[in-house]
Amino acid sequence: MPLTDRIPDRLSQQAERATLWLTHAVERLSDADRFVAADQTPYELIHQSGLLSVRRYLPLSEDEIEIGGERVPVRRKPHRVPVVLVPPLAADPLNFDLLPQRSLVRYLLAQGYKVYLVDFGSPERDHSAYGLSHYTTQLLPEALTAVRRHARLKSLSLLGYCMGGLFCLIYAGWSHDRQIKNIVTIASPIDAHQAGVAGQLLAAMRGPIKLVRRYTGFRIHKLDPARLNVPGWVSSLAFKLTNPLGTLTSYVDLLMNLWDRDYVVQHQTMAAWFNDMHAYPGGIVQDFVVRVGMDNALSKGRVPLGKDQEALLDRIDASLLAIAGTSDKIVTVEAARKVMDIVASADKRFALAPGGHAGVFAGSKAPATTWALAADWLRTRSA
């Protein structure tokens, strides 16, 4: 076909794209949530108490599903041991069910796992005092009790992302729960002084902090935790500043592809993850600044939880898989690898997967790398 004959077709295509671009731009400005595709997997709520809720995801009805561009057959014979997903605090737990084609929940269901999810809710000023002990010795045990009651089984596997992985380890080290068969952590920082720029800063502050503790009565834990609450928008901004160029590039790419509705849905859903973060209660800020950060307690295997309680990570004997992102600037490989030196588990493995802090957990490569690694590792340990 001569070039002159193809010009009308190209003009028509460009006109159609321009119309779609304008339509999507107006729709996004008026109601951006219409483009968010998270939280679409059917579930039942099995427990609700205050901030805490627990979901049980229903088995898939399809014979196969699409995940990460690949067709995944759905296994009909379930594994015996359920998987309990434990999220970090700032990020919405619905990121475990981010997009229909990029949903860790759907992937695990297709692999034959019974899947539960813990939701710690969105804390407000009334929850300012919530610290490590609240989440690891009260809320998480309450959630696991609900799962065991529903599943009619005591044996469980825990899978936690970032701070959620720390909650799993601290709970196991505090409770000595022998019915926790397996723990999977993804991008969870154990050696805080190795955790990127923040870790370097904490390490540099050790000397001055010792002097302050020795010669003054100032203690962060003496402050009113309500004064230390971190709003969700601050967490969102801090996360974006770890990769400002990437944040800018993503919006440029959106402008270039605004005519493509599927692209807009994917972008807006991912953006909701980073834009709609939850607040950090002041109590957890106190604990992370002092115990996890300055004292680097996790790397030493002993985490004080108040009232003569502590988590002893060297008592953990559950099977452990720790996964770190090769390009994670927030939780470096060194920060995550330290868990191998701490836990007493005879069956433990450290693995690397491509991606940064978000990408290793839910990026485009995660289904074929991180998720497949976790599902395959759990398979032989879930009978």
**Token pair in block for residue 89:** 């605090």
DSSP state letter for 33: G
Higher pLDDT, 329 or 91: 329
Quick one: which of 77, 145, 86 has its CA closest to 114? Answer: 77
Quick one: which of 230, 345, 336, 325 has its CA closest to 281? Answer: 230
> Residue with structure tokens 């339509």?
23
What pLDDT does residue 127 have? Answer: 92
Whether the pLDDT of residue 219 is over 80: the answer is no
Taking residues 259-281, report their average pLDDT: 80
pLDDT band at residue 241 under the 50/70/90 scheme: confident
Q: Which amino acid is at 295?
A: D
Cβ 123 vs Cβ 88: under 8 Å: no
Angle (nearest 5°) at CA 218 between 90 and 237? 25
Whether the pLDDT of residue 40 is over 60: the answer is yes
What pLDDT does residue 119 have? Answer: 97
Lowest model confidence (mean pLDDT) among 53-57, 75-79, 305-309, 365-369 = 305-309
Residues 300-359: pLDDT tens digits? 999 999 878 999 999 999 999 999 999 999 999 999 999 999 999 999 999 999 999 999
**Token pair in block for residue 198:** 């923040």
Taking residues 25-51, report their average pLDDT: 87
**Taking the CA of residue 174 as centre, how many other CA atoms within 13 Å lie in the half-sphere pointing to its CB?**
25
Instruction: Write down the mean pLDDT value for the chain.
Output: 88
Cβ 132 vs Cβ 170: under 8 Å: yes
Cβ 350 vs Cβ 324: under 8 Å: yes
Domains and CATH numbers, the chain: 32-379 (3.40.50.1820)
For the chain, percent helix, then strand, then coil, each to nearest 5? 50, 20, 30
What pLDDT does residue 238 have? Answer: 77
3-state secondary structure of 35: helix
pLDDT band at residue 135 under the 50/70/90 scheme: very high
**Token pair in block for residue 9:** 């077709």
What pLDDT does residue 53 have? Answer: 97
Report the distance separating Cα 133 and Cα 339, nearest Å: 20
What pLDDT does residue 36 have? Answer: 77
Taking residues 111-130, report their average pLDDT: 95
pTM for this one?
0.87
Q: Quickly list DSSP for 184-202.
A: EEES--S-GGGSHHHHHHH
Report the distance separating Cα 375 and Cα 77, nearest Å: 15
Do the strands 180-186 and 319-325 form a parallel or antiparallel pair, or are they unpaired?
parallel
Cβ 184 vs Cβ 159: under 8 Å: yes
Strands of the chain, DSSP E: 43-49, 52-57, 64-67, 70-73, 83-86, 115-119, 156-161, 180-186, 302-306, 309-312, 319-325, 348-353
Lowest model confidence (mean pLDDT) among 82-96, 146-160, 221-235, 307-321 = 221-235
* Percent of the chain residues past pLDDT 90, beyond the cut: 59
Whether the pLDDT of residue 113 is over 60: the answer is yes
What pLDDT does residue 281 have? Answer: 92
Lowest model confidence (mean pLDDT) among 67-81, 192-206, 349-363 = 192-206
pLDDT band at residue 72 under the 50/70/90 scheme: very high
What pLDDT does residue 147 have? Answer: 98
Do the strands 309-312 and 302-306 form a parallel or antiparallel pair, or are they unpaired?
antiparallel
* Percent of the chain residues past pLDDT 70, beyond the cut: 90
3-state secondary structure of 368: helix
Question: Phi then psi for 153, rounded to 5 degrees?
Answer: -155, 140
Q: Which amino acid is at 170?
A: I
Whether the pLDDT of residue 255 is over 70: the answer is yes
Lowest model confidence (mean pLDDT) among 57-61, 161-165, 216-220, 263-267 = 216-220
